Amino acid sequence: MDKNHINLCLSGQSFRIVTDDDVDYVKQLEKRINSRIESYKKRYPQMSATRCTLLAMLELEDELARAKENYEALDAKISQLRNMPRINTPAARMTSARSGQQMPNAERNLPTVPAHSSTGSTIENTAETAAESGTLVGG
């Protein structure tokens, strides 16, 4: 990928950077950072540009840290959901059939529940629909 040479001006300070990132993307970052700095300058007109810049940096770092925490929590939840036992899914039935295990009556004879797919057509589904809606809780 070609290197982009970009002139930036942040908080009144001009400088040139070299990056692999798209020029428009970097210019949007520049605009958003300057917007935050300017909002602090308007709120605190007696404060120096340097202090306003530092407050904007603190605010951005706080948002980044919170976003990382949220990402990690969601990632952990996804891992937890992936490790939950599957109830009466085609894969579970195939695994049971291969191992010769019989599913308990409660799982084998679940009623069929119509569900709508994303295309709007009705599909036949069993325990998956109930589990997704929270009706059944996996062990």
Contacts for 11-16 with beta carbons within 8 Å, 24 or more apart?
Answer: 11/37, 11/49, 11/50, 11/52, 11/53, 12/49
Give every residue of the chain whose pLDDT is below 70, as ranges: 91-93, 95-97, 99-139
Residue-wise pLDDT for 114-125, tens only, equals: 544 444 433 334
pLDDT for position 121: 39
pLDDT for position 112: 52
Residue-wise pLDDT for 6-16, tens only, equals: 999 999 999 99
pLDDT for position 101: 60
pLDDT for position 128: 45
pLDDT for position 95: 67
pLDDT for position 92: 67
Ramachandran angles phi, psi of 123, nearest 5°: -120, 155
pLDDT for position 126: 38
